[in-house]
């Protein structure tokens, strides 16, 4: 295999910021190019502005820099997507097709596509969403991710493009802010608990959703991308399970660190999105194919988030 040369789209997003730093550490910052439509949040590697709808510029950046690994992260998430479904469809779908086409016509060897728990709908076993299930999503974001997964599979079958993908649960971390998702409450709650001692939650107390701590999500992504091709049996997208909890359960964990914290529940339109998502995923295929194993459970996550936010606070005071 050639030396890796990596380009990320949507690198300034919640996952992108952390993944870019990790890839720069692992492969050398001279081998990583971060791109985003918004500004550079301080990457340790090269940064280029890129709108993923601009296929010509994407192709130029990829071919001129001899990119081997393309991480196409740019997307509009579930909650923001519902406010402007046409725009979400354009960016998510056209952006993905541009990335697939650019990979096909250049020397890209591997493409990573982030999918989501949003691909599932209410018709499946939501206690443990199977790897292979009918995908009837109820949000425009979910529809675009389900279609994206199938396009990935198509490019693998038709063109032999080595496409790899994960269905991320809600990703929780303290070093980069989430942007416009339904699972964002699980990050917001920590900041509000530490800074204000109170949280108004936009989901119901009992809205159980799959979640994962950032370190596990990043490690899973890199492990999948580094796995030998013959180990990858799924070219749509792999289910990935970290942990599952409700807002009420997370609140109880946070209380162990901040006993005086209070919560109120004010479910809004995002509760409808959460109602259509599974509470847990069956990730047996990821375990069997490339050895996935989570490290963070709810108590390790809570302690890490609490201590991380506290230390950020101390650095700024």
Residue 160: phi and psi, rounded to 5, are 70, 20
What minimum distance in Å lies between the beta carbon of 77 and ligand AKB? 4
Q: Buried b / exposed e across 146-174, counting CB within 10 Å, b at 16+? A: bbbbebbbebbeeeebbbbbbbbbbbbbb
Of 61 and 121, CB closest to ligand AKB: 121
Instruction: Kindly list the residues in this chain that would bind ligand AKB in the complex (CB under 6 A).
Output: 77-78, 116-118, 141, 168, 170, 181-183
Compute the least distance from the CB of residue 4 to ligand AKB, in Å. Answer: 26
What is the C-alpha separation between 280 and 129, in angstroms, rounded?
A: 6
Nearer to ligand AKB, 62 or 75 (CB): 75
**Whether 141 is catalytic:** yes
CA–CA distance, 129 with 240 (Å, rounded to integer): 10
Select 137 or 302, whichever has its Cβ closest to ligand AKB.
137
Q: How far is the CB of 188 from ligand AKB (least distance, A)?
A: 12
Set 141, 155, 168, 238: catalytic member: 141
In the complex, the smallest distance separating the C-beta of residue 183 from ligand AKB, rounded to whole angstroms, is: 4
Residues whose CB is less than 8 angstroms from the CB of residue 260 and which lie 6 or more positions away in sequence, other chains included: 197
Q: What's the CA gap between 109 and 310, in Å, rounded?
A: 41
As given in the structure block, the two tokens for residue 200 are 């108004």
What single-letter DSSP state applies at residue 183?
Answer: T
Taking the least distance from each CB to ligand AKB, the nearer of 92 and 106 is: 92
DSSP characters over 68-134: SEEEE-----HHHHHH-HHHHHIIIIIHHHHHHHHHHHSS--EEEEEEEGGG--TTS-TTSB-SS--
In the complex with ligand AKB, which residue's Cβ is closer, 93 or 118?
A: 118
CB of 279 to ligand AKB, least distance (A): 13
CB 172 within 8 A of CB 130: no
- The phi and psi torsions of 44 (rounded to 5 degrees) equal -85, 15
Q: Are 65 and 57 in contact (CB under 8 A)?
A: no
Q: Between 77 and 254, whose beta carbon lies closer to ligand AKB?
A: 77
Query: Whole-number minimum distance, CB 189 to ligand AKB, in Å?
Result: 14
Catalytic center residues: 141
């Amino acid at each position: 295999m050639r030396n890796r040369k990596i380009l990320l789209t949507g690198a300034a997003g919640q996952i992108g910021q952390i993944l870019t730093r990790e890839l720069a550490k692992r492969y050398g910052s001279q081998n990583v190019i971060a791109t985003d439509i918004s500004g550079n949040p301080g990457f340790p590697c090269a940064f280029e502005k890129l709108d993923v709808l601009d296929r010509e510029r994407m192709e130029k950046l990829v071919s001129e820099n001899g990119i081997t690994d393309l991480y196409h992260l740019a997307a509009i998430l579930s909650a923001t997507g519902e406010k402007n479904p046409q725009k979400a469809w354009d960016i998510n779908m056209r952006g993905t097709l541009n990335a697939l086409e650019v990979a096909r016509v250049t020397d890209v060897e591997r493409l990573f596509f982030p999918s989501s728990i949003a691909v599932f709908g209410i018709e499946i076993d939501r206690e443990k969403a199977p790897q292979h299930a009918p995908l009837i999503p109820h949000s425009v974001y979910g529809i675009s991710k389900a279609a994206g997964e199938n396009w990935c599979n198509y490019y693998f079958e038709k063109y032999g493009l080595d496409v790899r993908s994960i269905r991320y649960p809600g990703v929780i971390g303290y070093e980069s802010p989430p942007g416009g998702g339904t699972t964002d409450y699980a990050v917001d709650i920590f900041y509000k608990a530490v800074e204000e001692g109170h949280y108004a939650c936009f989901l119901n107390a009992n809205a159980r959703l799959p979640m994962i701590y950032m370190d596990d999500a990043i490690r899973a992504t890199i492990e999948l991308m580094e796995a030998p091709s013959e180990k990858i049996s799924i070219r749509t997208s792999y289910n990935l399970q970290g942990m599952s909890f409700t807002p009420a359960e997370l609140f109880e964990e946070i209380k162990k660190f901040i006993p005086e914290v209070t919560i109120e529940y004010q479910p809004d339109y995002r509760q409808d999105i959460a109602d259509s998502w599974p509470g847990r995923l069956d990730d047996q295929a990821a375990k069997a194919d490339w050895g996935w194993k989570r490290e963070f459970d709810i108590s390790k996550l809570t302690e890490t988030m609490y201590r991380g936010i506290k230390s950020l606070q101390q650095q700024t005071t």
